[in-house]
A and B are shown apart, each in its own frame.
Chain A
């Protein structure tokens, strides 16, 4: 464990908490892409199956359970509790355009042709594109509430910090996970446009981020 990875995990946790609390307190999921949240729940489900096969550390186990629980709670709030507030006509990204290539690639490019390893690889590739429906929804509505942009900021920051963690681990322990690194870089690149808007608009105190 190093400071970059710890900061990344904390940033990820903060993002998930921000969204969950926002939906719960505002009793609304307007502007939130339910599809992205379902994809994130799928990412955690397919990635954390090793909860049942191997114990790594208390931290590892606890964080995996927390991420799983909170992502399912978010999906529950969007599609069950506050479903009448769900903005379905703007959440129209075709997720099959993400799932088909990701499934295909995880069968082609993996470390071992075993169910657990292919599911892990699937979760890594899927996480890189899981935010697409949410970013698409924001470009479609042309705006995002500032709390939603904070959520996206911490979500994007988490994988950027993981890249720093991979650089650190490469130089200190010769650790290199090619699939995770390549996918993590692609994932972070997708946020760059948002990061620019976030810094130039939201941090300037705008109530909400209005896209140009």
Chain B
């Protein structure tokens, strides 16, 4: 349930 790899949130 999370963006894998890079985080799309700052």
Is A63 part of the contact surface with B, judged by Cβ < 8 Å? Answer: yes
**Stretch among A25-33, A47-55, A81-89 lining the B interface:** A47-55
Residues of B within 8 A of A55 (CB): 6
> In whole Å, how far is A179's beta carbon from the nearest beta carbon of chain B?
9
Whether the pair B9, A180 counts as a contact (CB closer than 8 A) is yes
- Shortest distance from the beta carbon of A209 to any chain B beta carbon, whole Å: 28
Given A9-B10, A12-B10; A177-B5 close (CB under 8 Å): no
How many of A's residues come within 8 Å of B, CB to CB? Answer: 23
- Cross-chain contact of B9 among A5, A67, A174 (Cβ < 8 A): A5
Q: Indicate which residue in B1, B6, B9, B10 contacts A54 across the interface (CB closer than 8 Å).
A: B6
Q: Judging by beta carbons under 8 Å apart, are A60 and B8 in contact? A: yes
Interface residues of A, dominant DSSP: helix
User: In whole angstroms, how far apart are the Cα atoms of A57 and B6 in the complex?
Assistant: 10
Query: Contact: A63 with B10, CB < 8 Å?
Result: yes
Contacts of A30-47 to chain B: CB distance below 8 A: 47
Is the Cβ of A176 less than 8 Å from the Cβ of B10?
no
Q: Given A174-B1, A176-B1, A50–B6 Cβ distance below 8 Å?
A: yes
* Residue of B with least CB distance to A173: B1
Residue of B with least CB distance to A59: B10
A54, B5: Cβ atoms closer than 8 Å? yes
Chain B CB within 8 A of A154 CB? no
Q: How many Å from the CB of B3 to the closest CB on chain A?
A: 8
**Which residues from chain B contact A56 at a C-beta distance below 8 Å?**
6-8
Closest A residue to B6 using CB positions: A54
Q: What is the interface of chain A, defined by CB distance below 8 A to chain B?
A: 5, 9, 12, 47, 50, 53-57, 60, 63-64, 67, 111, 120, 162, 165, 174-177, 180
A-B residue pairs in contact (CB < 8 Å), sample of 18: A5-B9, A9-B10, A12-B10, A50-B5, A50-B6, A53-B5, A53-B6, A54-B5, A55-B6, A64-B10, A165-B9, A174-B1, A175-B2, A175-B3, A176-B1, A177-B1, A177-B9, A180-B9
